[in-house]
Homo-oligomer: A and B are copies of this chain.
Amino acid sequence: MNFRQKLDNTIKKNNSLLCIGLDPDLDRIPKNFLQTSDPIFEFNKSIIDQTHDLVCTYKPNIAFYEAYGIDGLKSLKLTMEYLRKKYPEIPIILDAKRGDIPNTAEKYAKSVFEYWNADAVTIFPNLGLDSILPFLKYKDKLTILLIKTSNPDSKMFQDISFDKEPYFIKMAKIISKWKYANLGIFVGATFPEELKRIRNIFPETLFLSAGLGAQDANIERSVKTGINNSKSGIMFNAGRSIIYSNDPRNEAIKTKKQINKYR
């Protein structure tokens, strides 16, 4: 089963486009977890057990684990294995934002898809197609290209314009000519106009978007501009606003419903 099929099954089963970002921070997780032998894993496990029937995918961002070095990565490994074993139907996106020359990209692809056994990965497309092919070789996996990020300064370079066409649109148009079924696109939900322009370029491609919640994206506009003609085809990530709320399950229900309201 490839990523798209796995995802579509889970979207249907849970009636959800919600992706939860598993981005643990020891300074922010509830104190009771700090007394366990693996606070990061136990925290993730608790979030997963509370929300597994509300999501279409989980997205650990590897930076939050790398910050704690090899110990943090061990907690990520346990988290991936736990998800695989207990909720095998839920696809996992490893948000790793990798990118390198072909010879090196092969190593990153091997790490993400073989060692971490992720179903999908985020990468920088900026090095061009030869740097992306080592990821695309894994046909059942989804390789998500970062086109327009959600942070305020993303306009600095991504929006450099000529003839009213910003860099991220030029980039999107080139990518839209490639014929790979296992390519996805990342666009920050904090920029709904940009999301709309990119959706017009890729009417049916699978999108990942982030910025609902802590980054305050407008849910109505993001959903209306981000969905495809089948009112699907996009995963909306929310991280901090759910995992650090007093009641993660309740917050996930609310976010899931808000997204569905505008589909």
Instruction: Point out which of A110, A111, A155 has the most chain B C-beta atoms below 10 A from its C-beta.
Output: A111
Chain B positions within 8 Å of A150 at CB level: 101
A136-164 CB contact bits vs B (8 Å, 1 = yes)?
00000000001001111111111011110
Interface size bucket, A side? 35 or more
Pairwise interchain contact A160-B162, C-beta atoms closer than 8 A: yes
Chain B positions within 8 Å of A167 at CB level: 160, 162, 167
A68 to B108, CA, bound (A): 10
Main secondary structure of the interface of A (DSSP, over half): helix
Chain B positions within 8 Å of A115 at CB level: 66-69
Pairwise interchain contact B70-A74, C-beta atoms closer than 8 A: yes
A25 to B110, CA, bound (A): 12
Counting CB contacts under 8 A, is A128 at the interface?
yes
Q: Which of B25, B70, B127, B160 contacts A70 (CB 8 A)?
A: B70
Counting CB contacts under 8 A, is A125 at the interface?
yes
A149 to B240, CA, bound (A): 34
Number of copies of chain A assembled together: 2
Pairwise interchain contact B77-A70, C-beta atoms closer than 8 A: yes
Counting CB contacts under 8 A, is A124 at the interface?
yes
A77 to B107, CA, bound (A): 18
Interface stretch, picked from A92-100, A194-202, A226-234, is A92-100
Counting CB contacts under 8 A, is A170 at the interface?
yes
By beta carbon, the residue of chain B nearest A116 is: B69
Chain B positions within 8 Å of A25 at CB level: 107
Q: Which of B66, B146, B171 contacts A160 (CB 8 A)?
A: B171
A97 to B127, CA, bound (A): 11
Counting CB contacts under 8 A, is A181 at the interface?
no
A110 to B68, CA, bound (A): 8
Please give the distance in Å from A194's CB to the nearest CB on chain B. 14
Counting CB contacts under 8 A, is A245 at the interface?
no
22 residue pairs from A and B, CB less than 8 Å apart = A63-B100, A63-B105, A63-B107, A63-B108, A64-B107, A66-B111, A69-B77, A69-B111, A70-B70, A70-B73, A99-B124, A125-B157, A126-B126, A126-B146, A127-B151, A127-B157, A128-B154, A129-B153, A160-B162, A160-B170, A160-B171, A167-B167
Which 5 residue pairs are nearest across A and B when measured between Cβ atoms?
A128-B153, A162-B162, A128-B156, A130-B153, A66-B111
